[in-house]
Amino acid sequence: MRGRSSSVGLVLLWFCSLMIGGAAGLRICSYNIQKFNKNKAANYRVMHTLTKIVSRCDICVLQDVVDPKLEAVKVLVASLNRYDEHHYEYLSSQSLGKASDDLEQYVFIYRTHLVKRLDQHQYEGKAFVRPPFAVHFSCNKTDIKKFVLVPLHTDPDHAVQEIDWLYDVFEEVSAKWNNTNVMFLGDFHAGCAYVTRDDKKNIRLFTNSNFSWLIGDREDTTVTDLTNCPYDRIVVHGQSFLQGIRPDSANVFNFGKEFRLRQAKVLLLSEHYPIEVRLKGSAPLLQAAPLLVLFSAIIRFFLPAL
User: Mind telling me the catalytic residues?
Assistant: 104, 153
From CA 14, how far away is CA 198, in angstroms rounded? 54
Question: What is the C-alpha to C-alpha distance for residues 102 and 216, in angstroms, rounded to an integer?
Answer: 29
Q: What is the strand order of the sheet 88-92 is part of?
A: 88-92, 105-111, 59-65, 26-36, 275-279, 251-252
Tally the C-alpha atoms within 13 A of residue 207's C-alpha that lie toward its C-beta. 13
- Distance CA(227)–CA(224), nearest Å, equals 6
CA 41: distance to chain centroid? 21
- Counting Cβ atoms within 10 Å, is residue 20 exposed (0-12), middle (13-18) or buried (19+)? exposed
Give the type of residue at 58: D
- Closest among 229, 232, 152 to 191, alpha carbons compared: 229
